[in-house]
Amino acid sequence: MIKIGLVGEDPNDTTSVKLLLLKKFGKSVQFQTLLKNAYGYQLDNPKAIRIMQFQFKDAKCKFIIYIRDLDGFATEKQKVAEKQNWFYQLDKAANNKGILLLNIWELEALILADIETFNRLYKSSIRFKGDPTKQKEPKEFLAYNTRNNQKKYRESDCPEIFEKLSLETVSKNCPYFKEFVSAFDKKLKSNN
């Protein structure tokens, strides 16, 4: 079993991604959350890099998955470059062994990629077709569309939702996640 570190902007993000990836890779991986007390832009702090480096070695991880939200569209090259530079800086401390999951807009784009599962959980009838990376502010979109429901969407619901999402459906409907899963699979194979 390969131990993989997870670094994200929020524990909900790391837990959610872990639950989704375990569906396909659960028999071959064990995830270890690093930088548990760093949120959002605290990950940009040089102190976070030193702590992550220590935790990476201490946990004996083979590599790290870095999870960040772009908070913009993929066409916003400046934002993409900033997040990639962040990734390169942090990954240097882990011997350049990481992989970046850059969520276009937010993690919630992955929920839009399997909207039927979300609809079943929230007893809603949101219609969403197409590329979830084209939806501005998907978190707000989900909250708005469940505002009159008995169960309203909240960010803290992500782990519960991601546990139910179909990895295959999300990969099929979300291009950046499909690329990430492919890169993750290759990285696993090269570390066996």
Q: What percent of the chain has pLDDT over 70?
A: 99
pTM, two decimals, is 0.92
Tokens 């993750």 identify what position?
184
What is residue 84's predicted lDDT score, i.e. its pLDDT? 94
Mean pLDDT, all residues of the chain: 92
Handedness of CA 152, 118, 109, 156 (dihedral sign): positive
Using alpha carbons, list the distances in angstroms from residue 107 to 21, 66, 81, 113, 190: 14, 13, 19, 11, 27
What is the rounded distance in angstroms from the CA atom of residue 115 to the CA atom of residue 37? 31
User: In a 3-state reduction of DSSP, which class is residue 171?
Assistant: helix
Helices (H), the chain: 11-25, 46-59, 77-92, 109-112, 115-122, 138-145, 158-164, 167-173, 175-190
CA nearest neighbour of 108 among 66, 77, 43, 153 = 153
What is residue 149's predicted lDDT score, i.e. its pLDDT? 94
What is residue 134's predicted lDDT score, i.e. its pLDDT? 93
Low pLDDT (below 50) residues in the chain? none
Tokens 């492919």 identify what position?
182
Rounded to the nearest 5°, which phi and psi values hold at 82?
-60, -45
